[in-house]
Amino acid sequence: MLEELEVRHLGPIQSADVKPAAGMTAITGETGAGKSMLLSALSLIRGAQADAQKVSAGQESAWAQGVFDVSAQSSAAQIARGAGTDLQDGQLFLARTVPAKGRSRAILNGHTVPRSILHALSDELVTVHGQSDQIRLIAPSRQRDFLDRYAADDELLSDYQQAFHAFNDANAALQKVTAQQAQAHQRVDYLRDSISQIEKVDPQPHEEDDLREQRSRLEHVQEIRSALMKALAALDPSGLSADDDSDASDGPSSAVDLLATAQEALEQSSTALPELGELADQIASLSSQLTDIVARLSDLASADNSQSMSLDDINERIHDLTELTRRWGPTLDDVFAWKKKAQAELDTLDASPAHLAQLKAQRNQALAQAQKRGKALHTARVVAGEKLAKEVNAELTSLAFSGARLTVRVHALSGEDGLTSSGIDHIAFLFSAFPGAPSRPIGKSASGGELSRLMLALELALARSLKNRTGADRTLKQVKSQTSIPSTSSSSPTAAKAQTAPNPQLTFVFDEVDAGVGGEAAVELGKRLAQLARSSQVIVVTHLAQVASWADAQFIVRKAATDTTGQHVVTSVEPVTGQARVEEIARMLSGTVTKLSKQHAAQLLSESTLEEKNNEGKEPRI
């Protein structure tokens, strides 16, 4: 609820402080007095584009602030917390500063915020129905939301949205696997070909190192063989074959023979000198080591003679192994690991057709469930749409719109492409202003004033629907405790008109709602605004006394004397109560304030009262 609207240096308004009633507030005044500036101030705190030309002449900046009472659990409170601030004593302070030169500033609870924050907050707090502010229900998404609120189909909508998200998840999983299938066949071919190449080469652990060693030996085979032969000839020529060295037996004695001779000589004299026996033992140890060396040299010589692979064969094999490590290496161990992983992936891909079939079944099941719940929601919307149209059309007749007709079209979209996060329906509010006129979208078929009255009828229907679900209103005592307008005696014609207090979660502002209305229709218009004010806060800018008389509070916008320079008109905004309000209603009735017009005004004020019960003793309609 809008608790207070403060304005400084905006157009002709130098200073204004408006504290609307909790129920219905009327803003009145002569044409051109500056009532539009109050709406401009509201637009500023709602995040609208700033216009520096509206800054009062001679002033550096304009400023507007709205103070809203907000529930801690409301969406507006959540938006404020998301912007880094919280309620202050249950209130939010939305302000704009517009300099004569430079950029405007949006302020929330004393902190600068993006202008979009004020816009998001105001969507939750204020609805303006006027010539340039009818976008709220012109958008199809807003019409759908409005119909859902009227239908009270929250549970059906929630059930559908759960099914819709389940379908989206199942469909996304299927699409992901289907997209992967396009690459899966290529991947399978690649994996199979790669595994086949590895298996064809058939690498063995550490084979590459062994081959490189063999290649090194083959590349130096003559040098190695010569060294082996010379070493064997020196140590033990008997280990050489005749082909290796035919003259070896004719050469000098071998080292083995010489050591054996020395050992024997020392052993023969060891009795005479025991130390010689110790030396003989050491020579025996050397002889044993030398024998081992000769055996190893003989084995190496035999290995060289038994080499099974040629140098070309070894190089070719190393080349094949190098190709494997180049593609899947860098080592043979990496190649083995890649082959194992590739085989596991291949097994998985080969099993994907069964998985794909399972995902298709899950997706089709989720689609059927979403469509089923979408049809249930569609049925509820159709019923609610027919009821809403019937109720609104009845209201339009009372609002001087005889022959005007609202049609709520709820068209179910077919197929899975018709599924959206909000249901399967395309919803349109169509309006025909007079019999025979084609039904067209409401934004294209009504003037500003007509559209405001249509919106009023819609809001009344919604308020009635909400009341039926939430119970009775609060008492008149609560109204008086919430309104800032000084109370008058119960016998005064300016006593509070509403007999019950609203539960204002939203503030409605109506501008031009009385365009083209007069007489009995004007009375009905004011009465219905008062009825709406029993469930929400209502602010109406009006020229009709029959409308203003229903308000719980009234403010008058007057052209005062020019400013101190004598060049600019200054506008004042003041509450009118008691006799002052009677005189303002009298002026609105006849254009002048006379004894007779005041009597008519007092009578009008006293009659503009909502009764608690009608003649049958039933609760009044909202």
DSSP-assigned letters across all residues of 507-564: EEEEESTTTT--HHHHHHHHHHHHHHTTTSEEEEE-S-HHHHTT-SEEEEEEEEEE-T
The string of DSSP letters for 273-320 reads -HHHHHHHHHHHHHHHHHHHHHHHHHHHHHHHHT--S-HHHHHHHHHH
Looking at the predicted structure, is the pLDDT value of residue 362 above 70? yes
Looking at the predicted structure, is the pLDDT value of residue 241 above 80? no
Of residues 456, 536, 392, 422, the one with CA closest to residue 145: 422
The pLDDT confidence band at residue 606, using thresholds 50, 70 and 90, is very high
| 352/354 Cα distance (integer angstroms) | 5
Q: Is 427 exposed, middle or buried (0-12, 13-18, 19+ CB in 10 A)?
A: buried
- Mean pLDDT throughout 132-143? 72
Higher pLDDT among residues 35 and 41, named by residue: 41
For the chain, give the longest Cα–Cα distance: 168
What pLDDT, on a 0 to 100 scale, did the predictor assign at position 178?
A: 80
Among 48-52, 220-224, 332-336, the least confident range: 220-224
pLDDT digits (tens, 9 = 90+) for 476-501: 333 333 333 333 333 444 444 433 34
- Mean pLDDT throughout 298-325? 78
- Mean pLDDT throughout 81-85? 92
Looking at the predicted structure, is the pLDDT value of residue 547 above 60? yes
Mean pLDDT of the residues in the chain: 82
Q: What angle do CA 547, 548, 550 make, to 5 degrees?
A: 75
SS3 454: helix
| 18/534 Cα distance (integer angstroms) | 20
Domain ranges of the chain: 1-130+474-514+537-622
Contacts of 438-446 with C-beta under 8 Å, sequence gap 24+, read: 439/405, 439/407, 441/138, 442/137, 442/138, 442/406, 443/134, 443/135, 443/138
CB 55 within 8 A of CB 568: no
Of residues 296, 331, 301, the one with CA closest to residue 217: 301
Contacts of 336 (CB under 8 A, 6+ apart): 203, 205
Among 52-66, 89-103, 461-475, 588-602, the least confident range: 461-475
Give the CATH fold of the 1-130+474-514+537-622 domain: Rossmann fold (3.40.50)
Contacts of 424-429 with C-beta under 8 Å, sequence gap 24+, read: 424/371, 424/374, 424/375, 424/377, 424/378, 425/144, 425/374, 425/377, 425/378, 425/381, 426/140, 427/140, 427/143, 427/144, 427/147, 427/381, 427/385, 428/140, 428/143, 429/137, 429/143
| 92/126 Cα distance (integer angstroms) | 13
Strand partners, 15: 8
What pLDDT, on a 0 to 100 scale, did the predictor assign at position 554?
A: 96
CB 559 within 8 A of CB 571: yes
- Mean pLDDT throughout 430-443? 85
SS3 436: coil
Token reading at 130:
């006027």
CB 4 within 8 A of CB 66: yes
CB 52 within 8 A of CB 40: no
- What separation in angstroms does the CA of 430 have from each of 59, 245, 385, 576? 46, 118, 11, 40
The pLDDT confidence band at residue 470, using thresholds 50, 70 and 90, is low
- Mean pLDDT throughout 431-435? 86
Token reading at 381:
């919307």
| 561/495 Cα distance (integer angstroms) | 31
Q: How many residues does the chain have?
A: 622
Looking at the predicted structure, is the pLDDT value of residue 615 above 50? no
Looking at the predicted structure, is the pLDDT value of residue 63 above 90? yes
Among 96-100, 446-450, 528-532, 595-599, the least confident range: 446-450
Looking at the predicted structure, is the pLDDT value of residue 328 above 80? yes
Contacts of 299 (CB under 8 A, 6+ apart): none
Looking at the predicted structure, is the pLDDT value of residue 425 above 90? yes
| 163/617 Cα distance (integer angstroms) | 46
CB 549 within 8 A of CB 543: no
Of residues 541, 558, 538, 543, the one with CA closest to residue 610: 538
Distance spanning both ends of the chain, measured CA to CA: 19
- Mean pLDDT throughout 133-141? 70
Per residue, what are the HEC states of 208-251? HHHHHHHHHHHHCHHHHHHHHHHHHHHHCHHHCCCCCCCCHHHC
Contacts of 274 (CB under 8 A, 6+ apart): none
| 350/330 Cα distance (integer angstroms) | 28
| 214/580 Cα distance (integer angstroms) | 118
Of residues 384, 362, 358, 355, the one with CA closest to residue 163: 362
